[in-house]
Structure 1
């Protein structure tokens, strides 16, 4: 069976991935599938930078704002849903465009990881989240490093959700996340993937874009949204998202609003570094440097050239 062409627009936060994906979808009769682990949640439009209806420009978008923030959602869930959406888009004779910066989602989908049923223990999970709050995430990371050093190397010490999941898998199944990942790589991918990366040569330009985005989010009502998200149960993944947890000291009267917003900017810049580290390891990504292009039209033409190099018949 012929593989399904899938183009993915990836890279760090605040580089305009959604905007480019929409433009390419308009040019090539496509639809957009989000590859962002936080944009899935309903009611978190500001902090997760979900594209507004006018920004979608009539292009169908999938896997945005559909999930209850209090319900669990795994990489396996994402792969299953995204695979189904891509199949449906292709059957309509349209081109699927992924857009997002969650490298684990992109890699798991395009490499066609086969997920086996994994252990789940809600009581254990809640206790691990409480432990992270009481002792700090580094305590979980050190525990993970003791039995699964390869996962500890992949997972950032501040990524509480993934640390909890890795420990939960081991304690409930007796196998490590690394072992499960290795077992999952069984079948060849059904996708002919083209990865287009967006970045800046000048790192300061990226950081300026991140800072501007955070300022815009605050003006749009991020603080009210953060207050609502921080009222969710302790084990909720959305509570750990950048742009929400940084406001907790502000709500507790421990810092000013300006200091909390600055912390969001710092954490967003750190997250961008981690995103770049992930995607730089993917040799198949073809990069477009935004500060080397004169305007957005030029960026789109460069993306078209990358797509055409694949030899795809585009609309």
Structure 2
């Protein structure tokens, strides 16, 4: 099988993926595919640290502003679109560069996870949603633990949408979703990967996260959340449960003070970054680049180019 070239850049939030990827794409005649589960939503710009038109610097970006905040979007849909856009970029004789921190999205593409054998069972899904409402997320998570402990261990108890999806797959196929994923790993990836991970000292990363939250607030995060609520988007939507949105909704609805909301957002973003690093460090294909405070972007780009050249993509 002839593998298609694909550059992938991952890492925790606030590590600097966006700026580096745009510069890198300009050096290798690339176009960028976002692997961020929040940047797919329209009107959600500040809280998702979405790349602006100015920051894109003329580089075409895909899977940003793809859907409305009240639309459902699955990992299977992401893989289908990402694969399609990769082919589109290659047809233009450019290099696809996938960039983001949503591990499930990245894995669905680079590991060739197959979703076609599973279908949606709305009746069963609605039953599980009702159970979560009446009995709590822990009850439904416990159900998953009984049939698929591997996936249950991986998914947070409050990630109810994915917990329910995993139960749905088991209910319909009789096979745990973790087994489906393990089987997919036995097949070779359709891509020749230059898989790059960005990391830095945790103390500095947390400092950058705190500064990013402060910047979001200065840029008008609260007004963005107010506007979304005025448009009819409410806290129960998957999009509005994202970092930055649920905390500001609590503040706007009087469930927390401004100071509490900001501190919770910073804390939960730091925790999210830690989970991202844990996820990606399990993949031994990733070539890690440790960023120091003294590093210049040019040096980091050269390190990325060196690895891509070693893989034989450029």
Report the alpha carbon displacement of residue 93 of structure 1 after superposing the two structures with TM.
0.9
Change (3 A) 1:158 1:43: same
- Alpha-carbon deviations, 1:266-294, whole Å to 9, x = none? 11111101100011011111111222652
**Structure 2 gap ranges (5+):** none
Query: Does the aligned pair in 2 maintain the 1:114–1:185 contact within 8 Å?
Result: no
Report the alpha carbon displacement of residue 136 of structure 1 after superposing the two structures with TM.
4.8
Which position in structure 1 is the counterpart of 2:298?
297
Change (3 A) 1:185 1:197: closer
Equivalent-residue separation in structure 2 for 1:94 and 1:291 (angstroms) = 31
Query: Does the aligned pair in 1 maintain the 2:3–2:192 contact within 8 Å?
Result: yes
The 3-state SS of whatever aligns with 1:5 is strand
Give the alignment of 1:135-150 within 5 angstroms: 136-150=136-150
Query: Does the aligned pair in 1 maintain the 2:235–2:246 contact within 8 Å?
Result: no
Equivalent-residue separation in structure 2 for 1:117 and 1:38 (angstroms) = 26
Change (3 A) 1:218 1:126: farther
Equivalent-residue separation in structure 2 for 1:270 and 1:69 (angstroms) = 24
Query: In the alignment, is residue 155 of structure 1 matched against residue 155 of structure 2?
Result: yes
Report the alpha carbon displacement of residue 192 of structure 1 after superposing the two structures with TM.
0.3
Normalised by the length of structure 1, the TM-score is 0.90
Moved more, 84-93 or 233-242: 233-242
Moved more, 121-130 or 31-40: 121-130
Report the alpha carbon displacement of residue 228 of structure 1 after superposing the two structures with TM.
5.0
Which position in structure 2 is the counterpart of 1:166?
166
The alignment's C-alpha RMSD in Å is 2.2
Query: In the alignment, is residue 43 of structure 1 matched against residue 43 of structure 2?
Result: yes
Equivalent-residue separation in structure 2 for 1:116 and 1:189 (angstroms) = 17
Moved more, 166-175 or 293-302: 166-175
Give the alignment of 1:57-96 within 5 angstroms: 57-96=57-96
Query: Does the aligned pair in 2 maintain the 1:83–1:109 contact within 8 Å?
Result: yes
Which position in structure 1 is the counterpart of 2:218?
219
Equivalent-residue separation in structure 1 for 2:196 and 2:56 (angstroms) = 19
Which position in structure 2 is the counterpart of 1:10?
10
Equivalent-residue separation in structure 2 for 1:184 and 1:150 (angstroms) = 16
Q: Number of aligned residue pairs: give it.
A: 312
Give the alignment of 1:123-202 within 5 angstroms: 125=125, 128-129=128-129, 132=132, 136-185=136-185, 187-200=187-200, 202=201
